[in-house]
Amino acid sequence: MNTSRQVRHVSAYSIGRVCVKLKGREAGRKCIVVDVIDRNYVVVAGPEVKRRRVNMSHLDPLDQMVTIQRDASDEEIAGALQ
């Protein structure tokens, strides 16, 4: 008898998650996850954050989520953070 169960894992870094950068020249600034590359990297963007690939260990995810499309434009991201 197979007793294994599927466990659904919801990532803290899904598209639309609001985060604060912890490292680099943009440290302390808010950004939004706009794409998930793999289990270590995401693409973030924000009004004061240049769109780029970031290691997840350099981000602090907040409880906030916004509804955006994958690879949303910078204008959509700025509006979502307002």
pLDDT, tens digit, for every residue of 66-76? 999 988 898 99
Query: What is the chain's mean pLDDT, rounded?
Result: 87
Print the domain residue range for 63. Answer: 17-81
Is 10 within the bounds of a domain? Answer: no
Residue 4 maps to a domain? no
How many separate domains does the chain show? 1
CATH number assigned to the domain comprising residue 75:
2.30.30.30
Instruction: Give the tens place of pLDDT for each residue, 39-59.
Output: 999 999 999 999 999 999 999
In a domain, 12, yes or no: no
1 within domain boundaries:
no
Q: Domain for residue 34, yes or no?
A: yes
The CA angle 34-65-82, to the nearest 5 degrees, is 85
Is the pTM higher than 0.85?
no
Identify the band that residue 7 occupies on the pLDDT scale cut at 50, 70 and 90.
very low
In a domain, 25, yes or no: yes
The pLDDT score that the predictor gives to residue 5 is 47
CA–chain centroid gap for 52, Å, is 11
